Homo-oligomer: A and B are copies of this chain.
């Protein structure tokens, strides 16, 4: 398409046909260019085993196409109909405690179920055959939010699949025993038949068993995607395929998924009540762009106003929906889609806002829907263009899964740690990519690795080479502690990065709340660069060759290094052993030699991004600001430049 996608999930099966005409009319009024159809239509398309009813779908797709609205057609596999789950209860997922989950919501199937696979394949093939050459077809939308509600399935069928996966990974039970460290706690396995998923246990499970089950579960869901995509490619070659991501979602390794997708798409639901939401949303946009290797992506779902699944669901104030849409485009999106077109009157999401609310056309939400459609139409020149970042954050799911296990030095949040760094860079106006530890670091002048706790030898080696070749690397605490099997890297952690950073780590000493008397986790204090309060982490760092730029003050860490800098090869290795309040000051020191001509930081909560020749000045604050000598209203945006097609 030469224009941005604009539209939303459209569920005509929830409405009588007399409403369909009205839908098409209002979509046109709103400038809708694409509709996602069929995500939850299985029960309508196959009301009984093997009996398909496509007439209604033919009808609505025809209407949309006639109105010039392109179709993102779903494979309809996201929620099996009740007859299927009840005829074949083996498809139902099972929890770690052995509870079989029941019919009545959605995603009530195991990704490892052969029965589910057989039925889903038949449906996908039928849809592909019927609509693969439909003139309105823009893309295939595989399933929906894979893994969202059933991140792990502990059924016997999954257990068998897990064993197959393990045998493929390790080859022999001896290799598994070595990788899992089963000499600990008498866990040595005699054969793969003995291995189980990490169901409820008396105490802490084997960490590598847990990690492998995380990897397996992600792969099992990827298998669902892969199976459907293979049929679509076979039956209807050439139609681009996606499945909708869920931003920073822990239970699916999106690096692996993205490799098999024709374009990345994402569902992102900002919390309007959260002051940190604009930066967090920006981080998510940058992740999506990075997952696709820099290619444009689609914002596949967002809400026009409130969602319905938080404890309390704030509405979006005027302007916020536009700002976040423009932010997405600025950061690489070629489409702005909403869940959903017309707000439902029944079901579990009826209180989720839509483009066309319960109260109808004469509402501020529908007026904003129309205005946004017009504005996005004017942004067609950016379609296809790419952004270029000079900085990147090292990010991967192994570290996420490992860092948040129990029985670790402290319960830390991986994404919170990453976000702390992202936000400081964002405030400073620096565009960042995300990069996998095994990825290509060469485009970047600066790499930040916050709590990259799992770093296999190859990754450590390439990070070292990166610095030797002139790169600037900032490592945060809890990075380079474990290898890919979660075995500790001994003798001071970090392995080959010890020389790069000029340090060794002697011992962890995170601040902790007193367990007998309770209370909050105390703050730390550092002096020097970024001086002032610091949080969450402390440790005993031995500065071997590094320069010490900040030190802990007080407590058992008094005088120990908190921030170090080490010239190494052609580059520089930084180490930050805590979470200072003033992380922006640290960022300033890091970037000064890297980006010597960087403009001054934008005003608070203002972001400035250029894409395809268009400059986006987005003021997320509730104050009027001045940028480039021009005033931008509170929650306002200024979009300038003509754009160049990428």
Contact = CB atoms under 8 A, between A and B. Distances in A.
Contact of A184 (B188, B274, B349, B491): B349
A183 interface: yes
Contact of A186 (B41, B197, B201, B410): B41
Contacts of A306: 409, 507-509
Given A44-B186, A512-B310, A345 B181 contact: yes
A75 interface: no
A164 interface: no
The 4 closest A-B CB pairs, nearest first, are: A181-B346, A184-B347, A317-B556, A149-B202
B183 A44 contact: yes
Interface string A334-358: 0000000001111111110100011
A29 interface: no
A480 B393 CA distance: 50
Contact of A101 (B42, B202, B509): B202
Contact of A14 (B181, B310, B511): B181
A98 B101 contact: no
Contact of A360 (B40, B486, B487, B490): B490
A198 B101 CA distance: 10
Contacts of A208: 346
Contact of A359 (B346, B364, B505, B515): B505
A312 B521 contact: yes
Given A271-B516, A409-B308, A184 B348 contact: yes
A597 interface: no
Interface in A478-534: 485-488, 490-493, 504-517, 521
Contact of A487 (B80, B311, B345, B513): B345
Nearest to A305: B507
A116 interface: no
A570 to B, nearest CB: 29
Interface stretch (A81-89, A133-141, A216-224, A584-592): A81-89
A272 B104 CA distance: 42
Given A98-B100, A184-B344, A273-B514, 19 more contacts: A44-B183, A47-B188, A86-B196, A97-B99, A103-B196, A105-B206, A108-B201, A149-B203, A184-B347, A274-B516, A305-B507, A308-B409, A311-B411, A312-B409, A312-B510, A312-B511, A315-B556, A350-B486, A360-B492
A114 to B, nearest CB: 19
Interface stretch (A275-283, A292-300, A572-580, A598-606): A275-283
A332 to B, nearest CB: 23
B202 A107 contact: yes
Residue of A78, A180, A509 most packed against chain B (CB within 10 A): A509
- Identical chains in the assembly: 3
A507 B364 CA distance: 9
A102 B273 contact: no
Given A359-B505, A407-B349, A82 B516 contact: no
A183 B11 contact: yes
A43 B311 CA distance: 45
Nearest to A280: B516
A271 B510 CA distance: 13
A95 to B, nearest CB: 8
